[in-house]
Amino acid sequence: MQKTLFIIKPDAVKRHLVGQVIDRIERRGFTIERMEMLTLDLERLKKHYAQLVDKPFFSSITNYMMSGPAIIGILSGPGVIKSWRDMMGATNPGEAAPGTIRGDFATAPDEHGIQNIVHGSDSEESAAREIELWFGK
């Protein structure tokens, strides 16, 4: 049984989309193993997005991700890592297909950068690393 880390990002919490995102998770049959609401901290965000820390837009990512409370949790289910990524849609909401969470709910990038509703681990290695980072062993 696979596990993945999911985040319902602060834009989604502010826009009252939490229920609709969780509804999609449950309709798909994934199990919510852990879930909590918290404002993400810079120290762990730097580790979470370690591959992006050198990008010029990194501070816009952390400002966005710390702009309010987020929902963070662990999903389990067969093939959940790829399935959840497929349900999320493309990183840039302008390119995300209709029917995906980002394609249905996210707005196109503006001066605040990319605000795209949800996060999901992108591989087994990322999932293991991210779950340990936010929830411990």
Q: Which is nearer to Mg ion, 4 or 105 (CB)?
A: 4
Per CB under 6 A, the segment of 16-24, 27-35, 49-57, 73-81 that binds ligand IDP is: 49-57
Residue that is written with structure tokens 């199990």 in the block? 31
Residue 86 binds to ligand IDP (criterion: CB under 6 A): no
Q: CB under 5 A: which stretch of 11-19, 39-47, 61-69, 115-123 binds Mg ion?
A: 115-123
Closer residue to ligand IDP (CB): 49 or 135: 49
Name residue 2's beta-bridge partners: 77
Q: CA–CA separation, 73 vs 83, rounded Å?
A: 16
Question: Does residue 119 have an active-site annotation?
Answer: yes
Minimum distance, C-beta of residue 113 to ligand IDP, in the bound complex (Å): 4
99 belongs to the binding site for ligand IDP (CB under 6 A): no
Q: CB within 8 A of 101, min separation 6: which ones? A: 21, 24, 87, 88, 89, 117, 118
Residue 8 · residue 113 · CB < 8 Å: no
Measured from the CB atom, the residue of 51 and 137 that comes closer to ligand IDP is: 51
Query: Which of ligand IDP, Mg ion, none does 135 bind, CB closer than 5 to 8 A by kind?
Result: none
Q: Is residue 9 within 8 Å of residue 107, measured between CB atoms? A: no
Q: How far apart are CA 8 and CA 59, in angstroms?
A: 19
Q: Which residues have a catalytic role annotated?
A: 119
